[in-house]
Amino acid sequence: MRTITTTAELADYCKEAATHDYVTVDTEFLRERTYYSKLCLVQLAMPGTTDDNAVLVDPLASGISLQPLYDLMADESTVKVFHAARQDLEIFFHDGDVIPAPLFDTQVAAMVCGFGEQVGYETLVRKIAKETVDKTSRFTDWSRRPLTEAQKTYALADVTHLRQIYEYLRDQLAKNKRAKWVSEELSVLTSPATYQIDPANAWERVKVRTSSGKFLAVVRELAKFREAYAQERNVPRSRVYKDDALTELASTKPKDLNDLSRSRLLLREARKGEIAEGILAAVAAGMACAPENVPQGDKTREKLNVNPALADLLRVLLKAKTEDMGVAAKLIASASDLDMIAAGERDVAALNGWRFEAFGEDALRLCNGEIGLAVKGRAVKVISL
Task: Kindly write down the DSSP assignment for every residue of 324-378, as one continuous string.
Answer: HHT--HHHH--HHHHHHHHTT----GGGSHHHIIIIIHHHHHHHTTSEEEEEETT
pLDDT one-digit tens code per residue, 56-106: 999 999 999 999 999 999 999 999 999 999 999 999 999 999 999 999 999
pLDDT one-digit tens code per residue, 181-239: 999 999 999 999 999 999 999 999 999 988 788 999 999 999 999 999 999 999 999 99
- Are 10 and 155 within one domain? yes
- Are 110 and 16 within one domain? yes
The answer for residues whose C-beta is within 8 angstroms of residue 59's C-beta and 6 or more apart is 39, 40, 41, 42, 66
Three-state secondary structure call for residue 238: helix
What domain count does the chain have? 3
CATH code at position 377: 1.10.150
Domain end among 293, 312, 328: 293
The answer for residues whose C-beta is within 8 angstroms of residue 52's C-beta and 6 or more apart is none
> What is the Cα 360 distance to its own chain's centre?
24
Instruction: Specify the higher pLDDT residue, 166 or 52.
Output: 166
Domain end among 175, 194, 213: 194
**Cα four-point dihedral sign 148, 149, 154, 160:** positive
The answer for residues whose C-beta is within 8 angstroms of residue 262's C-beta and 6 or more apart is 252, 254
- Are 245 and 101 within one domain? no
pLDDT one-digit tens code per residue, 95-135: 999 999 999 999 999 999 989 888 999 999 999 999 998 88
- Are 185 and 122 within one domain? yes
Q: Which domain holds residue 74?
A: 2-194
CATH code at position 110: 3.30.420.10
- Are 222 and 323 within one domain? no
Q: Is the pTM of this model over 0.95?
A: no
